[in-house]
Structure 1
Amino acid sequence: MTTTTARHRGDLRRTGGGPVRVLVVDDESSLTELLSMALRYEGWEVRSAGDGAGAVRAARAFRPDAVVLDVMLPDIDGLTVLGRLRRELPDVPVLFLTARDAVEDRIAGLTAGGDDYVTKPFSLEEVVARLRGLIRRSGTAAAARDESLLVVGDLTLDEDSHEVTRGGTSIHLTATEFELLRYLMRNPRRVLSKAQILDRVWSYDFGGQANVVELYISYLRRKIDAGRSPMIHTRRGAGYLIKPGE
């Protein structure tokens, strides 16, 4: 059985049909990793660089549709990097990250050719939302068709109406069950750890109460898999995944 997956509402595709490409530039590896994970979660293709020289090389090879660029880098500052990027990619939208909130710093970034900025600390949702807006306005990507639907095998989830069906039969889910299923369906055939699920669905660390994931997985199985070929699977010691029933 084949799997068809439509990304969630707000997803963008390159005008040529491929995934949006974003280059993330920051010398804090933990922050870069976190941002990259959030952007991949949107269905986008991501490359990263930890310094200015690496950013220019990556942009030349990757040809991104947008760049997330830290102002303070270990070799050359973000404003200088922006100038070099503009020679390679004159129209690519750039979102600055800055730890400094002074008005003159913001003006400097925008005057240098940056399209927008966020100040550290920031929320991942804000960065994603700002990037969506920049990419749309740049005209390099367009909204995907059927963008509110997630489909895995005969299971369908509509993110706009919150309707869930399997084999044409409607399934009622609580708000938390819906969010858990949505996360699984956005990542078909991918094993998701308890920590990932806790962070994404519950938005904070339950510490020793990670068994809440097991509990809600069992709730979903009763509703999604009862009397049917199972779609939700456990990988012991690793996590959970969803894939079409056999």
Structure 2
Amino acid sequence: MIPGIGGSAGIAGIRGIRGSGGSATAGGGAGGSAGATGSWAAGGGAGLGASLAGGNGGLLAGAGGNGGAGGTGGISTSVGTAGAGGHGGNAGLLFGGGGAGGAGGASAVTGGTGGHGGAGGNAGAFWSDAGAGGDGGTARFGGTGGDGGNAGLIGFGGTGGFGGQGTIATSTGGAGGAGGQAGQWFGDGGAGGAGGNAGVTATTGGTGGKGGAGGGAVGVGDGGNGGNAGIGHTTAATAGPGGPSGIFGENGQDGLT
């Protein structure tokens, strides 16, 4: 079948000196169906504009806009990848938080790959926190969570997005995104996202997603905690390591398996 065409993505805000960036709209519409059940044909791609980034903040100050969500993948029993979430907008040079990354689109329950979550935007230099990464889409093969954005000089790193959940017994959870780096002078690293869980049937199993690594600190601050491993039934997943501390601070804790 002919893949569907998604709706147009939103226009990001015009970048000024101090204004905040506009958030992107959600991604384009769902992709077209792959055809009859049992077909090996790929589903239609996600709609146009499925990974539009959020607008950047003003040149000196202003928060970045949030990224748009990814479009849904085409329906298929075997293949098809959903659209990725949009990147969060970066803040102005001096002040403003980074925009959050958009979530990855979901794909078919029985086949396909979830979209990757968009990365979080970077923060301004002072007293501003970075954006969180978007979560991966749910699918037979869960999408990877987006990485958290990085802080500037004073601020906290963004948290990594969660890995997408597996949808059937033999599915695999997506890996969690890494936490963002803390500010160079002060701040804590972002926590890594948890890995997605595998399918729910314990007898046939699947692999849980790997937890994301915690972000590190440089000056004064703690490292981010690592993401927990997703639940796997036949294969154990790996938890994310904690991030290193700065000159003063504590290392982040490793995630749980």
Q: TM bucket by the smaller chain?
A: under 0.3
Answer 1 or 2: higher relative contact order, Cα 8 Å, separation at least 6: 1
Normalising by the residue count of structure 2, what TM-score does the alignment of the two structures yield?
0.24
**Which has the greater radius of gyration?**
1
Normalising by the residue count of structure 1, what TM-score does the alignment of the two structures yield?
0.24
Kindly indicate which of the two structures has a greater share of residues assigned to strand: 1
